[in-house]
Every structure is written in C-alpha cells, then in structure tokens.
Amino acid sequence: MVKYTLNGAAISTYSQCVSYIKSNELAKAISKARYFVEMCQSILYEENTGEFEDINDVLLCGIFFRGIQNFANLKQMTISLDWIRFPELVDQIWFEIWDCKERLEYTSSFMNSYINIENLDWIFDDIRSLCQDIDKEYGHGLYLSPGVLVEKITCNICGQDMRACEHITRRIYSGRICEKVLHRRKAIGNHILITERPADPRCRLWPWQNPDHLLYKKWPWQTEKEFVEAFCILYNFRLDDFMHGTGCGLKTRVKANWNNIKY
Ligand SMILES: [Zn+2]
C-alpha cells in the first residue's frame, strides 16, 4: 500500500517539479519538493519499525526530492544574471551545488528504476555550467581540510567499533544510512591542511576573503567583516538532513589571519 502510494506520488511530484523548474516557477517547485520530503519524513518517523519492506525506498525518495529542492533553490539563487559578483551569494550557491550533487548522485540509479526517470543530465549539465562560471571568475580554488584526533569510531547502526561490524558506510539499513560516529573527549584538531583536493569541497577559501582582493575592498565590510574573516573548515553535511532536525548542515567556521596562511 505504502509502496503504491509513494511510487505514484513520486512520479507525479517529479514531473510537476520538472515542469515548474523549466518554466521558472521556482517557488512552486521548491514547495512541491519540500512537501514530498516532509511526507517521507513523517512515514519514516511513524513507521520506523521495519514493518514495511520498502522503508529504505522512502528514505531514498526523501533524499532525492531534497536534492530536487536544492536544485530549485540553485535556480532561484542564480536567477539574476550578475549573481557571480556577490560573494555571499556565491558562497551559498557553492554549498547548494554540493548538497544537490551529492543527494542526486546518491539516489539517481535507484530513482531511475523506481520511477523510471530517463536521466538527470539536464540537472548535472546545469550544475557543471555553474561550476564553470565560478571557476572562470574565481579559479579552481584552494580548500581547507582539518585533521581531527578521535578516540574511537563506532557504527551508528549497531554501535560496535566500525572495524569490527558488518555494516557498510553510506549503505541504508532499515531506513537509516550507515555512518561513522566519531568519539572525542573534546574537540581536538591537530592541523588544517590547505589543498587543491579536499575531502569536502564546501570548505573553500575564496579570493574575496583575502584583504588584498579587490572585492574585499569594495564590499561594505564594516558590517560584513565577520563573514570574510571566517573560513569554513568543517561542514556537517547529511544526505538525509530532514531526518535530523535543525542541528545539521552546520558550518564550522574559524577565524584566521589571511597573512598567516601559507601555501
Ligand atoms: Zn555496524
């Protein structure tokens, strides 16, 4: 029963979202996708007992439409032709790009067979072109990658040491994504690496964060100074953030003196 309802709803929601996005009715696309995600969320909360064999499908559908919502957000954020010139907006777009990409890549082959979508190239091509615009304006970028000391790493499904259990990271078990749980007595970082190949591309150093950059001088930094001085070193991204309340997707920012950064 759930399977039939969910499947039918997924098919119609996807086709409505596509047509709203293509006709630039983005608020409608965002609200359709959000409504579907909330429906998945309530099914998962209420039926999270293993009673339904397709509880994993519900989670995958939720993640997929969360990605569609990210894409509609992206279209809205880039609707003005000069978006590339607004640092704070580019920063937000960059996060949205990666959230969208990771969610859709994670779910695309499942959705392909589940609701028979032809492919998502129309979305991925669009994202690629946004990335090219950013590269053209700001280069390929440098990224921060923190080293963190942990006491042990356990599995969120069974609670055992991750090296000993049989669960596989990022695979779904009874409606939950398997993730590593890091245990630290306190937050101890032992270094931050500056690299061209980061673990998480969201932690990007932007040229406008450099006081020598023209944009730094142009922007009204008196009020926005906090923003340019704080670099994102860690981003708590979750594919299924809608299952984890408001405490997720938080950026951990550090203040740093640009002149002390050597690379
Ligand atoms: Zn496990």
pLDDT of residue 17: 97
Tell me the pLDDT of the chain averaged across its residues: 83
Q: What is the 182 CA–ligand 1 centroid distance (Å)? A: 14
pLDDT of residue 228: 47
Q: What is the 156 CA–ligand 1 centroid distance (Å)? A: 7
Q: What is the 163 CA–ligand 1 centroid distance (Å)? A: 9
Which range of 91-95, 100-104, 142-146 scores highest in mean pLDDT? It is 100-104
Q: What is the 183 CA–ligand 1 centroid distance (Å)? A: 15
**pLDDT tens digits, 13-38:** 999 999 999 999 999 999 999 999 99
pLDDT, mean of residues 113-119? 88
Q: Which residues, chain by chain, have CB under 5 Å from ion ligand 1?
A: 155, 157-158, 165, 167
pLDDT of residue 223: 47
Q: What is the 73 CA–ligand 1 centroid distance (Å)? A: 35
Give bridge partners of residue 98 from the DSSP assignment.
none
Q: How would you write the chain as a 3-class SS string?
A: CHHHHHHHHHHHHHHHHHHHHHCCCHHHHHHHHHHHHHHHHHHHHHCCCCCCCCHHHHHHHHHHHHHHHHHHHHHHHCCCCCHHHCHHHHHHHHHHHHHHHHHHHHHHHHHHHHCCCCCCHHHHHHHHHHHHHHHHHHCCCEEEEEEECCCEEEECCCCCECCCCCCCCCCEECCEECCEEEECCCCCEEEEEEECCCCCCCCEECHHHCCCCHHHHHCCHHHHHHHHHEEEEEECCCCCHHHCHHHCCCEEEEECCHHHCCC
Cβ atoms of residues 105 and 128 within 8 Å = no
pTM: 0.85
Q: What is the 200 CA–ligand 1 centroid distance (Å)? A: 24
**pLDDT tens digits, 35-62:** 999 999 999 888 654 555 589 999 999 9
Q: pLDDT category, 212, cuts 50, 70, 90?
A: low
Which phi and psi angles does 100 have, rounded to 5°?
-65, -50
**pLDDT tens digits, 141-197:** 888 887 777 888 999 999 999 999 999 999 999 889 999 888 876 656 667 788 888
Q: What is the 143 CA–ligand 1 centroid distance (Å)? A: 31
